[in-house]
Amino acid sequence: MTTNETEGLDGGDQAAASACPYCSSTERCPHLLLLVDKTFCHADGGPLMEWFNTRWDCLCEDVADDAAFDESEALNVLLSEIEACADDATEYEHEGSPGGSSNYVIFFGESADKVREITKRLAGEGAM
């Protein structure tokens, strides 16, 4: 899998950083697997959005009283599950209002069929 990292981009550069590596779309496309706001640990798009947010919420509930819980490490473990299936990923920083910037990662599949297969596999595992 290829991973592209960019930071400190603005305007059109942010859109270019988030473009699909397969069709160059900066909007939702059939290659989009998952869009995650790493700053707030929340998925904002893609067919795995509900799966990711449910897994994250359950994980946080399970360790709510654990003072040793490392949110960053747990997020990286969950993201690595997606990374292992995805064909490509891009990380970028979205500059919002002052104090409102976020770091994002977007995962892609090389085809719509592959995105459906990954979604079915992961969502099926999550239901068990």
Residue-wise DSSP of 76-120: HHHHHHHHHH-SEEEEEEE--STT--EEEEEEE-SSHHHHHHHHH
Residues in Cβ contact with 52 at an 8 Å cutoff, skipping those fewer than 6 apart: 34, 36, 43, 78, 82
Rounded alpha-carbon distances, angstroms, from residue 110 to 21, 63, 120, 125: 9, 35, 16, 22
Kindly tell me if the per-residue pLDDT of 10 is higher than 70. no
pLDDT-derived band at 19 (thresholds 50, 70, 90) equals: very high
Condensed to tens digits (0 to 9), the pLDDT of residues 74-102 reads: 999 999 999 999 999 999 998 877 777 89
Whether residue 9 has pLDDT greater than 50: no
Quickly state the pLDDT bin for 123 (edges 50, 70, 90): confident
Tell me if residue 35 falls in helix, strand or coil: strand
Greater confidence (54 vs 18) lies with: 54
